[in-house]
């Protein structure tokens, strides 16, 4: 579904922040993306959610070369991608309900359909009582849950999350990860950028490991080996 | 919840009503449409004036029998009367198309020249010309004027046949220039509105860049985002333009009341016909439509440059 071949990315003619990135994400796969700060995780995520186009190499998503598609088609491709940003990027003038409803409205869904879906997802992330609240009056954890609800409400084909459980307590964090697992089982391809080693070990998915702009694809850690090493 | 949904339907971007840019544009639109209304009102007044003046003169010829004969000798009252009588008869004989022949009295002539030689001219023993005003059923043709001139000159070679054509041409030219200036002013202020809206939209696009990027990342098309800007522009500009036109009409009416107090018979009244009212009422529609198009073009052009 997603294929990167010798992809390079540089900003405004500067040095390459990503070099010779090659990997494939099959439909329904689940990957963690990790690496130290400055390794290029955010840049890779931006390529994945089409905020940037590669400077060189081939990025193919949903069967299309992203450099070759028309702008309009790129917008349609973006509707199939859900993103949880590290800084949430909620619109403060809109209520939690309206923030979550945005992707459906953009997709042109009927109001009744939007209402039902938004209520359902907000109840699921435990924010049924905060539907009308502005994000400004929500805690960091609550804002993160709104951001997650917004990313998954459109049942995206690809879900990208940047530190999605960073501000959540363990219970909520694992509940959210379980939601991602459920979505994954329903066929959604998921990439989660995280520093949370415990989380990566617990959910045991292949890892995209970035270091100084270079990528290694690591297989899932064998849980038995892991336990033995400990 | 339903209310929340409906209210926010097309307001994904935070367009603040107290935004400095919004307030500035609203004020500019109000002032500009008020000016455009005044310009249109001015054009209407000029048209009415021209109509009144042209109607008053059209189809009229004035024959002047000079107070002195070609030798420079002052004509006696009897001589002038005889000449005037002959001209009356002469023109009447071949004038089936002449509606009225009116010989102005000495007092009326004196009133006409009063601004130049002072009051009480009629009572003084000054030699005054005799004026005969011919009113035709229709505006006479050039051939008809030549025929009248020939008849008059056979009676008095010194008589002057004045068709007022030169004055009418000057009036038409002058009022045409004023009319063009008024219409140009109306267009200029509308263009100014468009430029203001375009600039304000660009500034709003810049200030909401992060939110627009977010909407783009969610797959919002340029049309979807543009519609939000355009809707806000149409609402704000529409309201401002209506208020501007209302202010303009109030000013024109006040001007009409003041002009009415001048007792100037040649100045037309300030009561407007239906087409004039419609032109005033269509102004907000025109301004809003043009600003709508300008906003849409500006938004789409700017969004197109975004990734």
Flag whether residue B8 sits within 8 Å of chain A, measured between CB atoms. Answer: yes
> Which 3 state secondary structure label does DSSP give B270?
coil
Strand partners, A189: A158
Instruction: Write the DSSP symbol of residue A187.
Output: T
A40-A41-A43 Cα angle (round to 5): 65
What chain B residue is nearest to A130 in terms of C-alpha separation? B1
Instruction: For residue A148, give the nearest of A74, A95, A86 by alpha carbon.
Output: A86
Flag whether residue B218 sits within 8 Å of chain A, measured between CB atoms. Answer: yes
Give every CB contact of residue B283 below 8 A, 6+ residues apart in sequence: B33, B36, B37, B40, B241, B245
Rounded to an integer, the average pLDDT of B84-92 is 77
Partners of A89 on chain B (C-beta within 8 Å) are 210, 214
Instruction: Write the DSSP symbol of residue B235.
Output: H
Strand partners, B162: B62
Closest CB to A51: pick one of B6, B14, B217: B217
Query: Which residue of B7, B17, B219, B226 to mutate against A (max A Cβ within 10 Å)?
Result: B219
What is the pTM assigned to this prediction?
A: 0.72
What chain B residue is nearest to A111 in terms of C-alpha separation? B5
pLDDT category of residue B96 using cuts at 50, 70 and 90: confident
Flag whether residue B12 sits within 8 Å of chain A, measured between CB atoms. Answer: yes
Flag whether residue B223 sits within 8 Å of chain A, measured between CB atoms. Answer: no
CB contact under 8 A, B214 and A77: no
Element (H, E) at A57: strand A56-61
What chain A residue is nearest to B225 in terms of C-alpha separation? A106
Tokens of B32: 């500009």
pLDDT tens, position by position, B205-221: 888 888 999 999 999 99
CB contact under 8 A, B8 and A115: no
Q: For the complex shown, is ipTM > 0.90?
A: no
Tokens of A193: 């950028």
Flag whether residue B227 sits within 8 Å of chain A, measured between CB atoms. Answer: no
Rounded to an integer, the average pLDDT of A21-46 is 92
Partners of A92 on chain B (C-beta within 8 Å) are 14
Q: How far apart are CA B296 and CA B303, in angstroms?
A: 10
CB contact under 8 A, A75 and B214: no
Flag whether residue B3 sits within 8 Å of chain A, measured between CB atoms. Answer: no
Partners of B2 on chain A (C-beta within 8 Å) are 111, 115
pLDDT tens, position by position, A96-128: 999 999 999 999 999 999 999 999 999 988 899
Rounded to an integer, the average pLDDT of A40-69 is 93
Q: How far off is chain A from B301, nearest CA to CA, in Å? A: 13
Q: How far off is chain B from A103, nearest CA to CA, in Å? A: 6
- Work out the percent of chain B whose per-residue pLDDT is above 70: 87
Q: Are A126 and A203 in contact (CB under 8 A)?
A: no
Residue carrying the six token digits 């959910």: A203
pLDDT at B264: 53
Instruction: For residue A20, give the nearest of A45, A44, A2, A42 by alpha carbon.
Output: A44
What chain A residue is nearest to B217 in terms of C-alpha separation? A78
């Amino acid at each position: 579904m997603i294929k990167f071949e010798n992809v390079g990315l540089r900003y405004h003619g500067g040095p390459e922040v990503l070099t010779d990135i090659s990997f494939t994400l099959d439909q329904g796969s689940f990957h963690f993306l990790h690496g130290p700060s400055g390794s290029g995780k955010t840049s890779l995520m931006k390529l994945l959610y089409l905020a940037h186009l590669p400077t060189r190499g081939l990025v193919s998503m949903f069967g299309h070369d992203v450099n070759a598609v028309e702008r309009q088609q790129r917008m349609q491709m973006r509707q199939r991608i859900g993103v949880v940003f590290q800084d949430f990027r909620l619109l403060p003038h809109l209520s939690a309900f309206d923030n979550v409803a945005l992707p459906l409205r953009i997709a042109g869904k009927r109001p009744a359909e939007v209402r039902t879906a938004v209520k359902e997802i907000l109840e699921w992330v435990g924010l049924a009582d905060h539907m009308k609240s502005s994000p400004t009056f929500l805690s960091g954890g609550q804002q993160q849950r709104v951001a997650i609800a917004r990313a998954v409400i459109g049942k995206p084909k690809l879900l990208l999350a940047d530190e999605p459980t960073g501000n959540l307590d363990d219970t909520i964090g694992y509940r959210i990860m379980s939601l991602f697992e459920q979505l994954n089982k329903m066929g959604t391809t998921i990439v989660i950028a995280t520093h949370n080693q415990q989380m990566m070990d617990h959910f045991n998915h292949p890892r995209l490991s970035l270091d100084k702009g270079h990528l290694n694809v690591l297989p899932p850690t064998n849980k038995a080996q892991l336990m033995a090493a400990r | 919840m339903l209310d929340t949904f409906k209210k926010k339907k097309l307001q994904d971007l935070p367009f603040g009503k107290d935004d400095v840019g919004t307030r500035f544009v609203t004020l500019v639109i109000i002032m500009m449409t008020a000016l455009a209304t005044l310009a249109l009102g001015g054009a209407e007044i000029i048209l009415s004036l021209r109509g009144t003046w042209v109607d008053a003169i059209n189809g009229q010829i004035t024959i002047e029998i000079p107070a002195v004969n070609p030798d420079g000798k002052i004509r006696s009252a009897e001589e002038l009367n005889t000449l005037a009588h002959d001209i009356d008869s002469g023109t009447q004989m071949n004038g089936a198309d002449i509606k009225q022949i009116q010989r102005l009295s000495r007092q009326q002539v004196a009133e006409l020249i009063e601004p130049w030689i002072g009051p009480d001219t009629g009572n003084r023993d000054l030699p005054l010309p005799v004026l005969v005003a011919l009113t035709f059923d229709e505006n006479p043709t050039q051939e008809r004027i030549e025929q009248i001139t020939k008849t008059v000159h056979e009676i008095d070679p010194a008589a002057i046949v004045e068709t007022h054509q030169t004055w009418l041409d000057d009036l038409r030219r002058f009022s045409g220039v004023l009319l063009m200036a008024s219409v140009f002013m109306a267009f200029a202020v509308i263009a100014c509105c468009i430029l203001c809206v375009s600039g304000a939209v660009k500034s709003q696009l810049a200030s909401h860049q992060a939110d627009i990027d977010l909407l783009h990342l969610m797959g919002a098309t340029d049309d979807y985002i543009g519609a939000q800007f355009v809707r806000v522009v149409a609402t704000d500009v529409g309201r401002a333009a209506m208020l501007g036109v209302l202010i303009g009409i109030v000013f024109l009416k006040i001007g009409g009341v003041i002009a009415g107090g001048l007792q100037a018979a040649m100045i037309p009244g300030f009561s407007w016909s239906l087409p004039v009212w419609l032109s005033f009422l269509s102004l907000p529609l025109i301004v809003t439509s043009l600003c709508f198009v300008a906003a849409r073009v500006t938004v789409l052009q700017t969004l197109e440059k975004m990734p």
